[in-house]
Amino acid sequence: MGGWAIAVHGGAGVDPNLPPERQEQAKQLLNRCLNLGISALRSNFSAIDVVELVVRELETDPLFNSGRGSALTTKGTVEMEASIMDGPKRRCGAVSGLTTVKNPISLARLVMEKSPHSYIAFSGAEEFAKEQGVELVENEYFVTEENLGMLKLAKEANTILFDYRIPTVGLESCSVGAAAMDNPLLMNGLPIRVYAPE
């Protein structure tokens, strides 16, 4: 049997021009979360408790796309989702469409432990949150100025921003334009060919 191990992530697909100070901020948050998890593991916390503890910290900090600092819907609101899974008995809990729950990961855990289901979403999840007495906040709490700016950018580009390889039709080589023209159908704001295998 090996010792304990922990890993955290804050998202994939990074802006290639991310300013150094933002990179440093991200590393500091990742370090803080790692150390939070390490001290819990050294105090013999169980794995399921540690993953919830660390993700709560990441949801509370606005730097990454979760909890406060979440990406915005096309309406400029926040709809959050989360899931948690405990290896030994493969127990799991998941939530989607949350708009007022401060820490979605803790509600996902309550779904796993206090409900007969594995996944509860939208209004049902909000009702369950009220029943369970988890901390609720206004949707505005999750919205940051930076993300309002990002949403404006995404709307102007008529696309969704999840990484930086989104083909910009017309501006680049005509092959990209041509390909897009061949198949102008868009899905989620992207040329359908991105989803071709589908």
Partner 1 sequence: TVGCVVVDREGRCAAATSTGGLMNKMSGRIGDSPLIGAGTYACELCGVSCTGEGEAIIRGTLARDVAAVMEYKGLELQEAVDFVIKERLDEGKAGLIAVSNKGEVAFGFNCNGMFRGCATEDGFMEVAIW
State the Cα–Cα distance between residues 125 and 81, nearest whole angstrom.
10
Binding flag, residue 196, partner 1 (CB under 8 A): yes
Contact between 30 and partner 1 (CB under 8 A)? yes
Position 47 contacts partner 1 (CB under 8 A):
yes
Of residues 63, 69, 72, the one with CA closest to residue 153: 72
CB of 193 to partner 1, least distance (A): 9
| Strand 190-191, strand 91-98: pairing | unpaired
Q: How far is CA 57 from CA 157, 175, 194, in A?
A: 32, 45, 34
Tokens 């369950």 belong to which residue? Answer: 128
- Binders of partner 1 among residues 58 to 87 (CB under 8 A) are 58-59, 64-67, 69-75, 77-87
Q: Is 88 exposed, middle or buried (0-12, 13-18, 19+ CB in 10 A)?
A: exposed
Which of 102, 128, 159, 191 is close enough to bind partner 1 by CB under 8 A?
159
Q: How far apart are CA 190 and CA 186, in angstroms?
A: 5
* Minimum CB distance to partner 1, residue 175 (Å): 16
18 forms part of the interface with partner 1 (CB under 8 A)? yes
Number of residues that bind partner 1 (CB under 8 A): 94
The 122-151 contact track toward partner 1, x by CB under 8 A, reads x-------------------x----x--xx
> Does position 114 bind partner 1 by CB under 8 A?
no
Out of 27, 114, 117, 130, which residue is the one contacting partner 1 (CB under 8 A)? 27
Find the binding residues for partner 1 in span 83-112 (CB under 8 A): 83-88, 90, 92, 94-97, 104-105, 108
Single out the residue of 127, 163, 172, 182 in contact with partner 1 (rule: CB under 8 A): 163
Q: Which of 7, 138, 173, 174 binds partner 1 (CB under 8 A)?
A: 7
**Cβ neighbours of residue 29 under 8 Å, at least 6 residues apart?**
10, 58, 61, 63, 64
Token duo for residue 51: 């993953």
For residue 92, the SS3 value is strand
